[in-house]
Amino acid sequence: MPSAFITGITGQDGSYLTELLLAKGYTVHGLVRRSSSLDRGRLDNLEDVSDEARARLHLHYGDLGDSNSLYRLLGELKPDEVYNLASQSHVRVSFDMPEFTTDINATGTVRLLEAIRSAGLGKTTRYYQASSSEMFGKAVETPQRETTRFHPRSPYACAKVFSHYATVNYREAHGMFSCSGILFNHESPRRGENFVTRKVTLAAARIKAGLQEYVTLGNLEARRDWGYAKEYAEVMWRMLQQDSPEDYVIATGECHSVEEWVAEAFAAVDLDWHDYVRFDQRFMRASEVDEVVGDASKAKRDFGWEPQVKFSKLVKLMVEADLKACLTGK
Ligand code: NAP
Ligand code: F7E
């Protein structure tokens, strides 16, 4: 049975990928950070995982900032596949903590790649890097594809560009099966509560349920290509099953403004958003990504990938999940 090592396993994507790999019969090893709380809500609530499958899930303490833990774990576990999903993933926060963000999102990638090589796995283990549409930033062409030049606009995006090229370099220099998924924004009911999509669907649900009065937001004009995280996690696995390592853009090809997301979410609970949204300068960014939209035709051509859930369906499924949780208290 194949085995996988996932960094960032407690995050949105890590939880979906874990469900998928367990369902495929993998043994899954996850890297978890020590924290004062043992709350790992997403992993505690994995869906459709039998007791037998859950017994194949193993969590290990470590950190992308700590080489020793990575070297020890890769040496001991010798996984067939490594998925590097861990990062300080909040773009706005990266302006407050640029050094930490660079250490984890950029240097952390090299620590992990070197740990794989040092364990003697450089020619056998397959590596997936979580690259991001934020790398396109002030985009030089629309839509963005694998060949579009990067113009990062935040410490987060600069670090992701570094890791993207490190992944290419380990492929070219050391012959590793290392590849990047350049994933555009992907959302779900498991999305962190301080990303704009979830912040808004949660607020709409809570306001409807009488638990909240209003929500404060920043730039409503930014435009994003939002897809469904569950579908995007499946692509990560698919990329590692190809005959050769290649990078892929994964996107829906549809672009909507934050304001459109807000309007759709409040409409889903029969409310007019104008009555509930306030502006707060704190949520503005020093340099913004105004608009990104992806062209995923390479993924469609090579392995038939096409998104099933797009904007309206996605907003609706997230609002419904938040409303249900508000009303049932779960
Ligand atoms: P997320 O929910 O924020 O999860 C991030 C994960 O990284 C968490 O498990 C977190 O652990 C872990 N982590 C953070 N710092 C770490 C460190 N120093 N050492 C070890 N683990 C650490 O992010 P996501 O949405 O699932 O995204 C997964 C990856 O894809 C990230 O690399 C993100 O930058 C990238 N990405 C995301 C999107 C998107 O739209 N979601 C798009 C493109 C790329 P804790 O639970 O302990 O905090
Ligand atoms: O912001 C605007 C904000 O934080 C989206 C990460 O997963 O996707 C994500 O990065 C837009 C921005 O996502 C608020 O200014 C307005 O223009 O939800 P976000 P992001 O920055 O696009 C990429 C692909 C990643 O790789 C990242 O890891 O919404 N916005 N008002 C706001 N954003 C937030 N967070 N909060 C607000 O109140």
pTM: predicted TM-score of the whole model, two decimal places: 0.98
- Residue of 16, 71, 128, 156 marked catalytic: 156
Residue nearest to atom 35 of ligand 1 (CA): 130
Mutate to test the pocket of ligand 1, among 87, 186, 226 (most ligand atoms within 8 A of CB): 87
The verdict on whether 134 is a catalytic residue reads yes
Is the pLDDT assigned to residue 38 strictly greater than 90?
Answer: no
How would you classify the pairing of strands 186-187 and 81-84?
unpaired
Mean pLDDT, the chain, as a whole number?
97
Give tens-digit pLDDT for 257-284: 999 999 999 999 999 999 999 999 999 9
Give the Å distance between the CA of 43 and the centre of ligand 1. 14
pLDDT at 310: 98
Q: Which atom of ligand 2 is nearest to the CA of 280?
A: 38
The percent of residues in the chain predicted with pLDDT above 70, rounded, is 100
Average pLDDT over residues 304-319: 98
The verdict on whether 248 is a catalytic residue reads no
d(CA 93, CA 195): 11
pLDDT at 37: 87
Average pLDDT over residues 226-251: 98
- Residue of 67, 89, 132, 178 marked catalytic: 132
Give the Å distance between the CA of 152 and the centre of ligand 2. 14
Give the Å distance between the CA of 218 and the centre of ligand 2. 10
Give residue 94's pLDDT band: very low, low, confident or very high (50, 70, 90): very high
Q: Which atom of ligand 1 is nearest to the CA of 229?
A: 41
Q: Which atom of ligand 1 is nearest to the CA of 14?
A: 26
pLDDT at 29: 98
Which ligand gives the minimal distance to the CA of 66?
Answer: 1
93 lines ligand 2 (CB under 6 A): no
185 lines ligand 2 (CB under 6 A): yes
Average pLDDT over residues 241-248: 98
Write out residues with Cβ below 6 Å of ligand 1.
7-14, 31, 33, 35, 63-65, 85-89, 104, 130, 132, 183, 185-186, 192
Q: Which atom of ligand 1 is nearest to the CA of 10?
A: 9
Give the Å distance between the CA of 209 and the centre of ligand 1. 30
Is the pLDDT assigned to residue 75 strictly greater than 90?
Answer: yes
pLDDT at 131: 98
Q: Which two tokens stand for residue 148?
A: 């579009």
Q: How open is the CA angle 103-158-117, to the nearest 5 degrees?
A: 50
Residue nearest to atom 23 of ligand 2 (CA): 185
Is the pLDDT assigned to residue 330 strictly greater than 90?
Answer: no
196 lines ligand 2 (CB under 6 A): yes
Give residue 117's pLDDT band: very low, low, confident or very high (50, 70, 90): very high
- Residue of 19, 81, 134, 231 marked catalytic: 134
Per the CB < 8 A criterion, the answer to whether 219 and 285 are in contact is yes
pLDDT at 289: 98
Give the Å distance between the CA of 248 and the centre of ligand 1. 19
pLDDT at 142: 98
Give the Å distance between the CA of 104 and the centre of ligand 2. 19
Give tens-digit pLDDT for 150-185: 999 999 999 999 999 999 999 999 999 999 999 999
Is the pLDDT assigned to residue 91 strictly greater than 90?
Answer: yes
Contacts of 138 (CB under 8 A, 6+ apart): 151, 153, 289, 290
pLDDT at 70: 98
